Amino acid sequence: MKRIIVVLCGCMLSASGFAESETLTLGQALEMARIYSPELRAARLQTQTAERAVSAAGRWKNPSLNFKAEGFGWDLDGVRQTESEVMLEQTFERGGKRKYDRAVAEKTIGVAFQAEVEKEMVLLAEVRLAFIDVFAQQEIGKVRTEQEQLGLAFVEVAKRKQHAGGGSELEVIQAELMLEEILLSQTCCFGDLKAARVQLASLIGIAEATVPELVGAYYDLESLNDSEIMDSHPALQQMDNRIDVMHAMAARAKARDATDITLAAGYKYEAAENVNTFVVSASIPLNFVQAGKAEQGSILKGVDALQAGRQEISRKLQQELSMLIAIYSGAKVEAEMTRDKLMPKAEQAYELSRAGYDAGRFSWFELINAQHHLTSIRVRQIEALRDAHEARAEVYKFMKEGM
Closest CA to 185 of 218, 151, 209: 151
pLDDT given at position 366: 79
pLDDT given at position 15: 44
pLDDT given at position 287: 80
Low-confidence ranges of the chain (pLDDT < 70): 1-21, 72-80, 166-167, 185-190, 399-403
What CA dihedral angle connects 356, 362, 365 and 368, to 10 degrees? -10
pLDDT in tens, 274-313: 888 999 999 998 888 888 888 889 999 999 999 999 999 9
Q: Distance (Å, rounded) from C-alpha 72 to C-alpha 70?
A: 6
pLDDT given at position 293: 86
What CA dihedral angle connects 157, 159, 164 and 165, to 10 degrees? 110
Cβ neighbours of residue 106 closer than 8 Å, sequence gap 6 or more: 54
If DSSP codes are grouped into helix, strand and coil, which group holds residue 185? helix
Q: Distance (Å, rounded) from C-alpha 351 to C-alpha 359?
A: 12
Q: What share of the chain is helix, strand, coil (3-state, %, to 5)?
A: 70, 10, 20
**Residues 398 and 235: beta-carbon distance below 8 Å:** no
pLDDT given at position 164: 76
CATH 1.20.1600.10 fits 37-398, yes or no: yes
User: What per-residue string of b and e applies to 266-287 under the rule 16 or more CB within 10 Å gives b?
Assistant: beeebeeeeeeeeeeeeeeeee
145, 234, 380 from 385: Cα distances, Å: 20, 29, 9
Burial (0-12, 13-18, 19+ Cβ within 10 Å), 219: exposed
Task: Centre a 10 Å sphere on the Cβ of residue 94 and count the other Cβ atoms it contains.
Answer: 14
Instruction: Enter the pTM of the model.
Output: 0.74
